[in-house]
Structure 1
Amino acid sequence: MILYDQRIPASLIEFGIQIPVKDSRSIKTFKALLDDPKLLPLREHWHHDRIVETISREDLLRVHSANYVNRLYSDGLEQEIISTFELIDAEGKYYRYAPETATRPLTDLFERLLTKAAGSIQAARLALDHGFCFSFTGGAHHAQHDFGKGFCMMNDIVIAARKLQHEKKVDRVWVIDVDAHKGDGTAALTAGDSSIRTLSVHMASGWPLDEPAVFADGNANLSFIPSDIDIPIESGEEGYYIERLQKGLNKLAENASADLAIVVCGADPYENDELPSASRLKLSLEQMFARDQLLYTWLMERNIPSVFLMAGGYGEDVWRVYAQFLRWVLHLRHASHG
């Protein structure tokens, strides 16, 4: 099952934001699936084409502070977007941002981000119904309780988990984060809550772990709050990635199972990803495929419904990571029975 609403671009260029998230990562991935002669005739069985779920303030308030949510619904929204997407540098200059090229107001981005977050909830519902769903949106794992960070304005991962727990659709949730960067917001938001267990395999150094552990104002850096299982990978250790991930997954399952797994399935560990802050981890296309096959197979063997979120993936080549995995999954789930 795939949730892909083609009305929602991946790129932020219409807002003047020049972060290298490309529309091609969605468009080319989907085209690769439609170009498959076995999958195309079965499209109505695997493609959900509309995000119909909505996000309310109540949904946000289960995860984020009232102060932050109020700022998002106020005249302060533009400043929150500028801060979250790091559009102004320490010298006060625009960074990866050219407002004169924008065709839409920056504040319009908020509604799109709400829709993307709602997509994670909808995809999780589809996973509970069908056993698996891959969403072409979601995975904003850096958003914290009181602020956005690292291109992540609201933590849709925890929002989805909390909403489904609130509705008593699930009790225990696993978050398995294989994005290049540590899932720091998710770890902080769920710290001490045994109902949501977190695993993050990520670059051992670099952003956000190159920030100080304690800021100049004396406040602790929330990015250093540990996940339940952290698997740091140093540059040059890519050959151990799959083995360490396998051990981490087995450790995750030692105590109790889960009613739902949310996989933050970023493509930015791929060696051809174009985001500079992800460059310390360089997995080959073959290693990325092995990662995704391991995650899917391991969860299916345990009968745990799983929602995979597209998460981080930057540049013109990352679609290959998603396409190879989804072709394989859809053949397993649909084409082999067609």
Structure 2
Amino acid sequence: MNESHLLSTPLVFHPIYSQLDLPFKHRFPIEKYQAIYDRLISLGVPKAQFHQPHALTPSQLKRVYSPDYVNGLTQGVLDPKAMRRIGFPWSEQLIQRSLTAVAGTVMTSNLALEHGKAVNLTGGYHHAFANFGAGFCLFNDLYLAALNMLQASAINKVLIFDCDVHQGDGTAKLASNNPKVFTVSLHGEKNFPHRKQVSDLDFPLAKGTTDDEYLTVVERALHQAFSTFKPDAVIYDAGVDIHINDDLGHLHISTPGVYARDCMVFETCNKQGVPVAAVIGGGYQRDISALVDVHLQLYRAAGVVA
């Protein structure tokens, strides 16, 4: 492998991504982030290619999200019902892990502007709204990263292209009154969240959707988004819970299908000359090694590994 080629795509990772003690048999595969890092290292990706984020502060989040929610969550006094909606038991570890993961996506957006593309080894917390969290998402990193990109002088419009199997409802709501952020969601029609929000473009998919049909929708979604909105930058949520073996997905997308999707997104962004910041999104196989195999398609498509 040519090391100079490898170094062209910055990666963002912190060990804290996988450092969260959860109850036995908890549904969230917290180990996968460290496992992706370990796999990339084993495949020859140099450690110098990885950038380590520093946790955001609650005050930084309060510029965008409800101060009462940020305070309640970070101080551990959020209503128990609100914590159950998030799906994690509260701990100081959870807060530090979440503040660092969100910072990782913001860092990824900066690196994408500098290098053309960058990939975070976590991210995609798209069920978090301004004043509450849900579905394992505390703070919405995608919207925060979009606002960060808009601070750059050359960036006037950001596309959030969400291919996680679950609709990016929090992102859609957060961006609903921001004409500079365009949201696209390709998701399972009969899947969480049961109450969908309205993205700028929504592509609901039937249970059992297979590769050919899915990739046709991805191609159409990319064409519509770029022709309608003409973004200056893209944030890509590359969720792999669309995979046929995913426990929560209900779609029938193969591993080559995931790779083809990721290649299509990167190639479209490259052809349009716009930077792309990618996050790994959801993926819920209990077999962590098998799950890493699917997530690895994003890094293959980004040219990080062969």
Scaled by the length of structure 1, the TM-score of the pair is 0.79
Match of 1:264 among 237, 246, 259: 237
Q: Does 1:226 align with 2:198?
A: yes
Q: Does 1:290 align with 2:260?
A: yes
Identity of aligned residues (%): 27
Structure 1 pair 147–28 and aligned structure 2 pair: CA distance change class (3 A): closer
Match of 2:227 among 254, 257, 263: 254
Structure 2 CA distance for aligned equivalents of residues 140 and 169 of structure 1 = 26
Match of 1:178 among 122, 145, 163: 163
Structure 1 pair 112–44 and aligned structure 2 pair: CA distance change class (3 A): closer
Structure 1 pair 325–224 and aligned structure 2 pair: CA distance change class (3 A): closer
Task: State the Cα RMSD in Å.
Answer: 2.5
Deviation at 1:297, TM superposition (A): 0.8
> Is the Cα–Cα contact under 8 Å of residues 33 and 327 in structure 1 kept in the other structure?
no
Deviation at 1:205, TM superposition (A): 0.8
> Is the Cα–Cα contact under 8 Å of residues 14 and 53 in structure 2 kept in the other structure?
no
SS in 2 for 1:268: coil
Partner of 2:87: 86
Q: Deviations over 1:46-72 (max 9, x none)?
A: x224113x4233432343222212322
Partner of 2:58: 57
Partner of 1:34: 41
Match of 2:251 among 281, 286, 297: 281
> Is the Cα–Cα contact under 8 Å of residues 72 and 80 in structure 1 kept in the other structure?
no
Deviation at 1:112, TM superposition (A): 1.1
Partner of 2:5: none
Q: Which amino acid aligns with 1:145?
A: A
Deviation at 1:6, TM superposition (A): 4.6
Structure 2 CA distance for aligned equivalents of residues 51 and 168 of structure 1 = 23
Larger Rg: 1
Q: Does 1:43 align with 2:68?
A: no
Match of 2:178 among 190, 193, 196: 193
Q: Deviations over 1:6-63 (max 9, x none)?
A: 5224364x1437123142x334433443344xxx2x6256x224113x4233432343
Where do 5+ consecutive residues of structure 2 fail to align? 1-8
> Is the Cα–Cα contact under 8 Å of residues 30 and 323 in structure 1 kept in the other structure?
no
Partner of 1:325: 298
Structure 1 CA distance for aligned equivalents of residues 92 and 39 of structure 2 = 33
Q: Deviations over 1:90-116 (max 9, x none)?
A: xxxxxxx7xxxxxxx723211110011
Partner of 2:29: 21
Structure 1 CA distance for aligned equivalents of residues 92 and 82 of structure 2 = 8
Question: How many residue pairs are counted as aligned between the two chains?
Answer: 293
Structure 1 CA distance for aligned equivalents of residues 16 and 71 of structure 2 = 25
SS in 1 for 2:245: coil
> Is the Cα–Cα contact under 8 Å of residues 244 and 250 in structure 2 kept in the other structure?
no
> Is the Cα–Cα contact under 8 Å of residues 4 and 50 in structure 1 kept in the other structure?
yes
Structure 2 CA distance for aligned equivalents of residues 112 and 169 of structure 1 = 32
Deviation at 1:248, TM superposition (A): 1.1
> Is the Cα–Cα contact under 8 Å of residues 199 and 252 in structure 1 kept in the other structure?
yes
Deviation at 1:84, TM superposition (A): 3.8
Where do 5+ consecutive residues of structure 1 fail to align? 88-96, 98-104, 210-222
Structure 1 pair 72–331 and aligned structure 2 pair: CA distance change class (3 A): closer
Structure 2 CA distance for aligned equivalents of residues 264 and 323 of structure 1 = 14
> Is the Cα–Cα contact under 8 Å of residues 37 and 121 in structure 2 kept in the other structure?
no
Structure 1 CA distance for aligned equivalents of residues 81 and 67 of structure 2 = 14
Scaled by the length of structure 2, the TM-score of the pair is 0.86
Structure 1 CA distance for aligned equivalents of residues 301 and 123 of structure 2 = 21
